[in-house]
Structure 1
């Protein structure tokens, strides 16, 4: 029998009492902090309505080890535990427990009910979370000894999860750097040329270059998929559409082996057109149509994304523009160095294989990180349910578990 089992049987034979969060803690909202007074670096984070700090300041208005809940914005309801002194902004609640409730215990419980808080968002424009919704959140309050044991178990599990996540993240970063190094080395040609020669041309001499529509799209619920810079990693996954009539006004439509390149906000990320499907595209993307008798599309993609291509783009990018951009005419001025077509295809094939390995890791490692986080969440919720009811409730989903527990709670409160 575990220590927690012993404590629950001894101290909670009939379950535990549920109380509203507002009755066991002080809930307050922060003070507005002007964006102009923040900096990108500083001693104390400014915590407002988002998941990450809004900025940093040398001032603070809240002590360390404080529970926060985002009050406004898309992340309204997000629960965090701030371990340093910080400035709490006007779009953030702080939760400070009263007697008989441990700070870390309360954090774990509220975090387990984060999705409930997010479901309480209101407002047609910028979402917000009303204070009364936070105050009415029902919290199981077992004896302090039980709370301490739960905190010990969950904090230990959290530490292990964080260590593993850090290791997996470092592995993913290393693999990405390895791929970038290999790509850049290969595109410096070296041994793969084996005595052959290379030549350089302006991109406009070996490809046609177009940009997308400059008009704000009239979006539809269905029709022709519409893509912009945000879709460059998955050009066939857009959820935005325009009508066939609007698409028919496009003078240049994508063809297989064309290359999309980002040119506004982010410059130089590429995607190859591999399907014979209609795609509408915005001005933030350039459409490059290589002369495939001279330059291989796959090779061109890798070259543009390499150190050499990035330097060429950077020379002509308007870095002071907001957002940064490169004009369509200047894209055509970048110099592309290339070997024979056969060697281009060999290089592209080699990098395709290497990128596939990295992509598999890019899928596998983040999936492993997410699985570890879900494992922690499952264990946390099961543990808190057990502490509150004395039973392990079989859980299909978080919501089903909470609804079962809440029905029991309603009968007790």
Structure 2
């Protein structure tokens, strides 16, 4: 019998009590002095003004604030202290953080305090991150316009297990060790994945550095421009809208391109980003490139992907930076036979899968480690309810 099993047998053999979070802790919404710009200060004796942007997703602690507010501003805000929790209530709602500093929070946060008689701090952190609690918060979040929000009352009404403190401490010990081991393994796999990607890019460069004749863009490619969506009510459906990156911006009910295509983003920070699509899509601020006869669209994709840093650097404009169709159409491409293009594509597709496909290779191993951790965490945090 493990130590945890012994503790459960000693302290809670018949199950544990469940109570609402509001019975176990003080939960209050943050507050913002307005207009906030009137209360921001650079004085050393200012009060930490803790914002969503001060903590990275995946962080456990809030260790600093990029701005401070005056003492008068703090009186109009919600004060929090080291050891309290804050919980984001909009955008990436439901994410808990432990405060390692004192300060004040705005109304994008919920403050959670006065729980130490009931919960070990680290146990509560693991519990709030568990799949069951996160899913329950997602169900309770309401839509305010296009953004989901989590209010204090919905968090107060969460039903949480209250195991005895010795049981909580042992679960924390187990999860801390498991977290550390998982982090070490993930770091090793991530380092290996980075090395693989560099190796892949090296071989892609070598395979595409052709010592052969180069031909005009129009002999290999057909290029067209995306179109803007003007109807606000058209943002429904299952057709991905391609704006700037690999992930769709949203979905609508009709495409403006069918079949295989390369998309190069036209403007903004992602100008020059190259993506490949083999499904119906709607391209907005981008260029659509198709292959002419006797050219392999995947070969063209790899060739343009290799030029992505060059395309990004070629953007121009004093306002929103952009690349032009002329810049793209001025590119010359290697005159390789369709057979040679297909051979190169077969090699690069295998490399690409090993590096990037979530279902194979190292990314799949990293994802498996994450799921394994979440499974055991959730199992340890599931308790029979005391009848």
TM range (shorter): 0.7 to 0.9
Give the match for residue 262 of structure 1: 265
Q: Deviations over 1:185-232 (max 9, x none)?
A: 22223xxx4xxx33354x346533211223425638669x45423685
- 2: CA distance, partners of 1:45 / 1:182: 46
Q: Is the 8 A contact 1:77 1:115 kept in 2?
A: no
**TM-score, normalised relative to structure 1:** 0.71
Q: The residue matched to 2:128 in structure 1 has which SS? A: helix
Gaps of at least 5 residues in structure 2 are 42-47, 70-78
1:122 to 128, 135, 142: 142
Q: Counterparts of 1:48 and 1:20 in 2: how far apart (Å)? A: 30
Q: Distance in 1 between matches of 2:362 and 2:112?
A: 34
Aligned equivalents of 1:363, 1:230: Cα separation in 2: 26
SS in 1 for 2:344: helix
Counterpart secondary structure, 2:141? coil
CA–CA separation in structure 1 for the residues paired with 2:219 and 2:103: 56
1:47/1:89 contact within 8 Å kept: no
Contact 2:357 2:364 in 1 (8 A): no
Do 1:22 and 1:134's aligned partners in 2 also have CA atoms closer than 8 Å?
Answer: yes
Candidates 312, 322, 334, aligned match of 1:314: 312
Residue equivalent to 2:129: 111
The C-alpha deviation readout for 1:314-345, integer Å capped at 9, x for no partner, is 353236544x4323343223x22414435444
Could you report, residue by residue, the CA deviation over 1:260-294 in whole angstroms, capped at 9, with x for unpaired residues? 33324432313265x7xxx353332312244445x
The 5 A counterparts of 1:365-404 are 365-386=362-383, 389=384
Cα displacement (A) at 1:14: 4.5
Match of 1:25 in 2: 25
Secondary structure (helix, strand or coil) at the match of 1:318 reads coil
38, 47, 51: which is aligned to 2:52?
47
Shift of 1:254: 4.7
Q: CA RMSD in A?
A: 3.9
In 2, distance between residues paired with 1:13 and 1:272? 56
Is residue 213 of structure 1 aligned with residue 227 of structure 2? yes
Displacement after TM superposition at 1:65 (Å): 5.0
Q: How many residues align?
A: 357
- What SS does the aligned partner of 2:368 have? helix
SS in 1 for 2:184: helix
1:300 matches 2:318: no
Cα offset for 1:84?
A: 6.5
Deviation at 1:174? 2.2
Q: Pick from 72, 78, 98 the counterpart of residue 95 of structure 2.
A: 78
User: Is 1:228 matched up with 2:226?
Assistant: no
* Structure 1 equivalent of residue 332 of structure 2: 336
Structure 1 residues 273-288: aligned runs within 5 Å: 273=278, 279=280, 281-288=282-289
User: What is the correspondence of 1:96-245 to structure 2 with a 5 Å cutoff?
Assistant: 96=113, 97-112=115-130, 113-125=133-145, 126-189=147-210, 193=211, 197-199=212-214, 201=216, 203-204=217-218, 206-216=220-230, 219=234, 225=239, 227-229=241-243, 232=246, 239-242=251-254
Tell me how far apart the structure 2 counterparts of residues 375 and 349 of structure 1 sit (CA, whole Å): 33
Per the alignment, in what secondary structure is the counterpart of residue 298 of structure 1? helix
Q: Is the 8 A contact 1:48 1:90 kept in 2?
A: no
Alpha carbons of structure 1 residues 133 and 210: separation in structure 2 relative to 1, 3 Å: same
Q: CA deviation at 1:119?
A: 1.2
